[in-house]
Amino acid sequence: MSDNKKTFIDKVKALLSENKSEKFADFKDKEGRIFRADALEKGNTIQEMAEDGKLVDVENGEYEFADNNVKITVDSSSITELVEIENSEMDDQTTQEFIDTKLEDGTMVRIDRIEEGGTVLIVDDAGETEPAPAGDHILEDGTVLTVGEGGVIESIKEPEADDSADEEMEDEKFEAKLEKWFTSKLESEVFTEFVKEISETMEKANSVISKFDEMEKENKELKEKFKKFSKEASAESVTSDKINFAEASREDKLKFLSRR
């Protein structure tokens, strides 16, 4: 075998060996971006995987990897610094939440957790915060937070159950039920009485109408009698206008003459 052929074969073997041993790993930072490097170690090259799957240079800056508990500094796509981060610190940075609520006087407060060791902050109208002053602070629900220096909660007192309020509520429910029952009963009795009164009124009206009918009938009979009487009186009057002086007595003659 010639020296040229041997040299070419050695080069091919070397390339194959180099490619075979080269390994990469993908890492996801807390923002969800994917990076590729052989390891998250100082001095290693690191690249970012774009949305289309292509590898691009990483912008200079700091990046945190929660799964690996490290923070790296990148310069010219090279890891220049690497700092390990404790789990508690990572949790505080990624999952810390606050509760916004009000005190009984209407003051807005922000609390990281309602337990001893939690922090109470006063929130002003501009949204700025400052530690609550030392002392007792009563929340809207009646919970009393005793706060020390720096707004740190030293003790918590839950609101006492108000038995009188429960009793008052029960009394109100009972009164409401009683009022409902009484109203329905009253409405029922009133309606029944109303119907009864209407019936009695109708009976009275019918009785009055019957009496009017009788009176009208009697009036009609009276009119007929008066009409008949008038005719008889008129006939008698006409008859009495004539007298036979020859046969009439002296008294009849005088009566006749007196009507003239």
* Alpha helix ranges (H) inside the chain: 3-21, 87-95, 163-240, 250-258
pLDDT, tens digit (0-9, with 9 covering 90-100), for 209-228: 877 778 888 778 777 766 77
Asked if residue 82 lies in contact with residue 40, where contact means CB atoms within 8 angstroms, the answer is yes
How confident is the model at residue 238, as a pLDDT? 47
pLDDT, tens digit (0-9, with 9 covering 90-100), for 44-68: 999 998 877 788 999 999 999 888 8
Domain 97-157: which CATH number of 1.10.60, 2.40.10, 1.20.1330, 2.40.128: 2.40.10
For residues 90-107, give the mean pLDDT.
72
Q: Which residues pair with 147 in a beta bridge?
A: 135, 153
How confident is the model at residue 212, as a pLDDT? 76
Distances (CA, A) of 256 to 72, 236, 248: 157, 13, 10
Of residues 88 and 144, more confidently modeled: 144
Closest CA to 99 of 139, 136, 154: 139
pTM of the full predicted structure? 0.31
Give me the residue spans of the domains in the chain.
3-90, 97-157, 186-260
20: confidence class by pLDDT, cuts 50, 70, 90: very low
How confident is the model at residue 159, as a pLDDT? 83
Whether 114 has a pLDDT exceeding 90, the answer reads: no
